[in-house]
Amino acid sequence: MKKSSHPFKKFFSKVWHTIRKIYLQSVRPFLAKINTLLRHNFIYRERNHQVILFSFIRIRITRRLRHALYGYLFIILWLIGIAFFTLYPLGYSFYLSFHQAYYNLQQGVVTTFVGLNNYLNIFRSQTLVPLYTNYVGKMLVAVPIIIVFSIIIAVLVNMPIKTKGLWRTIFFLPVIISTGPVINELNAQSAITLPNLQGSGIYGYIVNNLPSLLADPLTTVINSMLLILWYAGIPILIFLAGLQKIDPSLYEAASMDGASPWMRFWKITLPSLMPFTGISIIYVVVSMSLFVEPGGILDLTRTHMLVGAPDSAFWFGYGYAAAMAWVYFMLMVLLILGFTRLTREKRVKQL
């Protein structure tokens, strides 16, 4: 082995040395020249900790200024990105949502102002309004379930048991494999529902006795129970991290005073986990809302954007699609605010 590697080594070191020689002899002096040229010219000059622009604007370079400049240098990519790919599109889609907009090959996007008509059309729509109410209802039912479930699992995993890593691996697995098409396929095979839950009397009771506004979200939650519990992956880890930050001496003191495990859970564990519910709720709401189910609002938004024929009866242009997305986003923000407000009030009460 050694013998055969020897000529290779020789060859590569030879190549490396020639490259290095060329770089040192001709490239580096050239770069240095450019550098000095950039620092000492009519427009920009550096002297005695001062920058001189056009020979008459003098700026003292302090440490603070230099730090600020470097800070901007590091985040400049982000600044460009936020302007072009987030803030401008945000403003533009808000603007579009008040307009009727079509794409025209000759003129680009043609917009005509229609006021609030796009939003009104959404509320008039027979297909969209049930989708929105179903979304909100599903969230209202599912998010508390997920949070409670993930707290229970986190507490269980945090107990002195063996193979902690294994359990953690299992409960985090869905975050890795839950990709849209796979979930849709599982959905089609009805592999995401607990068979016992669907067959039980509760299901029939809900369908028969509640108004459809209430029953629909409940049945969707029951039908996709496993899928909903799958969203608990990251909240479980967040709560686990929170549990590990609780001082064990608190528990010791409590058990000295005769508190049962049950009491300890309610009086110590749950209050200390309260600060972590906010971030978990945000995570759950965001990841659940952004999942695109076939026939859902997000899927419809996409169809409204992509179907190109403006004469089609069901196509209302980019403006309508933007308005749909904005209503969805607003509902999402309202949900997040509502849920986090709820947990915060509880915390105040307990204090």
Partner 1 sequence: MKLPLIPTMETQQKWRKVWFGKTLTDGLLYKLIIYILLISFSYIYLYPLLFMLINSLKSVDDLINPGVKWIPTVLMWENYERAFEVLKLPQSLIDSTVYVLKVSVSATLSSALIGYGFARFEFPFKKLFFAIMLATFILPQQVTMVANMLIFRELKIISSEWTMLLPAMTGQGINAAIYILIFYTFYKTIPGILIESAEVDGAGQLRIFRSVVLPLAIPSFVIVFLFSFVWYWNESFITGLYVGDKVTLPLWLQAFRASYETIFPPGTPGAELNEAILLSGNMLTILPLLLLYFFGQKLFTQSIDKTGITGE
Helix axis angle, 128-158 relative to 212-223, nearest 10°? 50
The verdict on 185 binding partner 1 (CB under 8 A) reads yes
CA distances to 20, 27, 55 from 17, in Å: 5, 14, 44
Interface characters, 25-64, with partner 1 (x: CB under 8 A): ---------------------------------------x
Q: Is there binding between residue 309 and partner 1 (CB under 8 A)? A: no
Q: Strand, helix or coil at 208? A: helix
Among 14, 20, 21, 67, binds partner 1 (CB under 8 A): 67
Q: How far is the CB of 84 from partner 1 (least distance, A)?
A: 7
Is residue 268 involved in binding partner 1 (CB under 8 A)? no
Helical ranges in 159-246 per DSSP H: 164-177, 180-188, 195-199, 201-209, 212-223, 225-230, 233-244
- Between 137 and 171, CB nearer to partner 1: 171
Q: Name the minimum Å distance from CB 9 to partner 1.
A: 26
C-beta of 304: minimal distance to partner 1 in Å? 9
Token representation of residue 48: 């005695």
Decide if residue 110 touches partner 1 (CB under 8 A): no
Please report how the helices 212-223 and 201-209 are oriented relative to each other, as an axis angle in degrees rounded to 10: 160
For residue 119, the minimal CB distance to partner 1 (Å) is 14
**288 near partner 1, rule: CB under 8 A:** no
For residues 253 and 246, what is the distance between their CA atoms, to the nearest angstrom? 13
Query: What is the size of the binding site for partner 1 (CB under 8 A)?
Result: 93
Copy the structure tokens of residue 28.
């580096």
Q: At residue 25, what is the residue type?
A: Q
Distance between CA atoms of residues 249 and 213, nearest Å = 49
Residue ranges in 192-211 that form contacts with partner 1 under rule CB under 8 A: 192, 194
Name the E strands within the chain.
44-47, 50-53, 57-60, 99-104, 108-113
Q: Does 15 bind partner 1 (CB under 8 A)?
A: no
The rounded distance, in Å, linking the Cα atoms of 111 and 186 is: 41
Nearer to partner 1, 31 or 156 (CB): 156
Pick from 275, 342, 347, 350: which binds partner 1 (CB under 8 A)? Answer: 275
Check binding of 102 to partner 1 (CB under 8 A).
no
Q: Which is nearer to partner 1, 160 or 211 (CB)?
A: 160
Q: Which residues pair with 103 in a beta bridge?
A: 109
Identified binder of partner 1 from the candidate list 146, 237, 281, 288, rule CB under 8 A? 237
Q: Which stretch binds partner 1 (CB under 8 A): 2-10, 53-61, 130-138, 326-334?
A: 326-334
> Which residues, at least 6 apart from 112, have a Cβ–Cβ distance to it below 8 Å?
99, 100
Q: What is the DSSP letter of 40?
A: B
Q: Is 303 in the site for partner 1 (CB under 8 A)?
A: no
Residue 299 or 345: which CB sits closer to partner 1?
299
Cα–Cα distance measured from residue 116 to residue 96, given in angstroms and rounded to the nearest whole number: 11
In whole angstroms, give the CA distance from residue 304 to residue 128.
Answer: 12
**Member of 191, 202, 213, 334 binding partner 1 (CB under 8 A):** 191
| 316 scored as a contact of partner 1 (CB under 8 A) | no
By CB under 8 A, the residues from 74 to 93 that bind partner 1 are 74-75, 77-82, 84-86, 88-90, 92-93
Query: Which of 97, 86, 138, 131 is CA-nearest to residue 335?
Result: 138
Q: Which is nearer to partner 1, 108 or 201 (CB)?
A: 108
308 touching partner 1, by CB under 8 A:
no
Tokens, residue 248: 């064990």
Phi then psi for residue 336, to 5 deg, are -60, -45
Q: State which of positions 144-163 bind partner 1 (CB under 8 A).
A: 153, 156-157, 159, 161
Stretch of 27-35, 37-45, 127-135, 302-310 contacting partner 1, by CB under 8 A: 302-310
